[in-house]
């Protein structure tokens, strides 16, 4: 990124810190080029001391002179902040949103600004191991796309998609994904404890099994069913366990869960969940 570029963060929470930390680690930008805004002075002080960045409690100050404005606040605060910043962002600036469910249209209309990148990171981004799916409005220039890519790379891997619909799908798969994985891990650990393992041993066994299995797929890519077949001997332990998982509807439960999360993501984006709640249907 150019030496004179400036990035302004609106929202200085967990994800903003992960991005700042990652960008400085990867030397995408230097601390003097970053300004972060949030309502709590103590939080700003903390970030300024830790990373040497500029901080403010005034959102307008953070976007003033910023070539890239990162929207890193909670979805509930978004409408107020869009209204507050409308007309205050530099014409040639890029707005990069990580706000879950916020559509490009909402941001463009709210800010009266055309160059918008919408992204969906996930929780492991906090340790630089996330996967972020992102898309860009037609007005985003090639150089701005490169900048967005570099910033999102600081959170782990990134995947660009042309169609914004993939953002809602990604919300259900990778965005919400860590919740499914944590539940699966918890169930395996509890099962191991049920067998008689002390919990610390159960956790070690389960975490390394999952880590090792994903690394194995990366090192020796193959169809997942073939890998599963490799560890399933006729009449063996895996065959017995897999029979029970299939009988319990494991695959269908996951498919239905992801479909439900996808539908929820769409309705959160359109605000229809709120409507349903006020209608007393939920
Ligand atoms: N955390 C994740 O793993 C994850 C994954 C995917 C997507 N996301 C998305 O990332 C966004 C940020 O999440 P987060 O986990 O970083 O949340 P967070 O830690 O709560 O950070 C939000 C920040 O916004 C600040 N804020 C509140 N009102 C504001 C205002 N009017 N103007 C400016 N800043 C304001 C908050 O300050 P106070 O703390 O003082 O209220 C807080 O520092 C969310 O939209 C979320 O959907 C998060």
Ligand 1 mutation target, pool 8, 9, 10, 14, most atoms within 8 A of CB: 14
Instruction: For residues 102 and 201, give the distance between their C-alpha atoms in angstroms, rounded to a whole number.
Output: 42
CA of 39 to the centre of ligand 1 (A): 11
CA of 205 to the centre of ligand 1 (A): 34
For the chain, the first-to-last Cα distance in angstroms comes to 47
User: Nearest residue CA, atom 21 of ligand 1?
Assistant: 13
Given the CA of residue 12, which atom of ligand 1 is nearest to it? 43
User: Nearest residue CA, atom 26 of ligand 1?
Assistant: 11
Given the CA of residue 100, which atom of ligand 1 is nearest to it? 47
Query: What are the structural domains, with CATH classification, of the chain?
Result: 7-163 (3.40.50.720), 177-268 (1.10.3730.10)
pLDDT tens, the chain, 282 aa long: 777 889 999 999 999 999 999 999 989 999 999 999 999 999 999 999 999 999 999 999 999 999 999 999 999 999 999 999 999 999 999 999 999 889 999 999 999 999 999 999 999 999 999 999 999 999 999 999 999 999 999 999 999 999 999 999 999 999 999 999 999 999 999 999 999 999 999 999 999 999 999 999 999 889 999 999 999 999 999 999 999 999 999 999 999 999 999 999 888 776 655 555 554 444
Pairing of strands 34-37, 54-56: parallel
CA of 14 to the centre of ligand 1 (A): 7
Residue 164 buriedness (CB in 10 A; 0-12 / 13-18 / 19+)? middle
């Amino acid at each position: 990124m150019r030496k004179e570029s400036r990035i302004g963060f609106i929202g200085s929470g967990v994800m903003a810190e992960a991005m700042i930390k990652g960008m400085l680690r990867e030397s995408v930008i230097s601390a003097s080029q970053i300004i972060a805004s949030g309502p709590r002075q103590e939080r700003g002080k903390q970030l300024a001391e830790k990373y040497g960045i500029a901080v403010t409690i005034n959102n307008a100050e953070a976007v003033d002179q910023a070539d890239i404005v990162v929207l890193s606040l909670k979805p509930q605060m978004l409408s107020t902040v869009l209204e507050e910043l409308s007309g205050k962002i530099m014409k040639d600036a890029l707005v990069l949103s990580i706000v879950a469910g916020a559509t490009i249209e909402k941001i463009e209309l709210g800010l009266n600004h055309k160059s918008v990148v919408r992204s969906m990171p996930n929780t492991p981004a906090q340790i630089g191991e996330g996967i972020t799916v992102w898309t860009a409005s037609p007005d985003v220039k090639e150089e701005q796309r490169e900048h967005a890519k570099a910033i999102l790379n600081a959170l782990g891997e990134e995947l660009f998609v042309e169609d914004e619909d993939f953002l809602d799908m990604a919300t259900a798969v990778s965005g919400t994904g860590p919740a499914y994985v944590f539940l699966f891990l918890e169930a395996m650990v509890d099962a191991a404890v049920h067998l008689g393992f002390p919990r610390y041993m159960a956790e070690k066994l389960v975490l390394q099994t999952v880590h090792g299995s994903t690394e194995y797929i990366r090192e020796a890519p193959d169809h997942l069913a073939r890998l599963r077949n490799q560890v399933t001997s006729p009449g063996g332990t895996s065959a017995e366990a897999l029979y029970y998982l299939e009988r319990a509807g494991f695959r269908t439960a996951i498919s239905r869960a992801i479909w439900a999360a996808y539908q929820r993501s769409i309705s959160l984006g359109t605000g229809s969940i709120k409507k349903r709640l006020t209608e007393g249907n939920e």
